[in-house]
Amino acid sequence: MATKPDTSRQPPRWKPLSPAQEAAITLYLAGHSDTEVAEAVGVTRQTCNAWRHQHVLFMVELEKRRADLWRASAERLRSGLTKAIENLLGAVDSGDLKASLALLKAVDLYGDSAMHHSKALDPETLIR
C-alpha cells in the first residue's frame, strides 16, 4: 500500500513581491525614507515600515540587494587602489609631509599602534 508524502514539513511558499514592493526596495537602496517610499509607491508609511520589519521575503530581498550594491561599490573602489598608491607615493616622493604621515598611518607605523608591533615580539606576550 502506497503512503502519502508528509507535506507538513515542506518549506513555506512565498508569494512573489508585488511591483510596489520591488519599487520600494529600489527606492530604499537609493536612500529614501519610509514616507518618501510610501508616497512614491502609493501605500501608507506604516505599510512600508511593516514591509521592512515584518515581511520576510521583502526583508531578505532588500538585504540581498543591499549586499550586492555594497559588493559592487567595494570592487569599484578596489579598482582605484593602484592609482591611489601611485598618487600617495608620488606625493611622498615630492616631500609632502601630510602624504608621508598618511602613508605611515596606512601601514600602521604611526602613533601608538607602532608600539604594539614591538610588544608582539616579546616571548611572554606571545605565550599569553
Is 73 in the same domain as 106? no
Is 44 in the same domain as 30? yes
Is 87 in the same domain as 57? no
CA–CA gap between residue 64 and residue 55 (Å, rounded):
14
Q: Cα(first)–Cα(last) distance of the chain, in Å?
A: 66
Is 31 in the same domain as 60? yes
pTM reported for the whole predicted model: 0.58
CB 92 within 8 A of CB 98: no
Is 43 in the same domain as 70? yes
Query: Containing domain of residue 92, as a range?
Result: 81-127
- 56 in any annotated domain: yes
Give pLDDT < 50 ranges for the chain. Answer: none
Is 87 in the same domain as 36? no
Q: In sequence order, what E strands does 1-128 have?
A: none
Please give the pLDDT value at position 66.
96
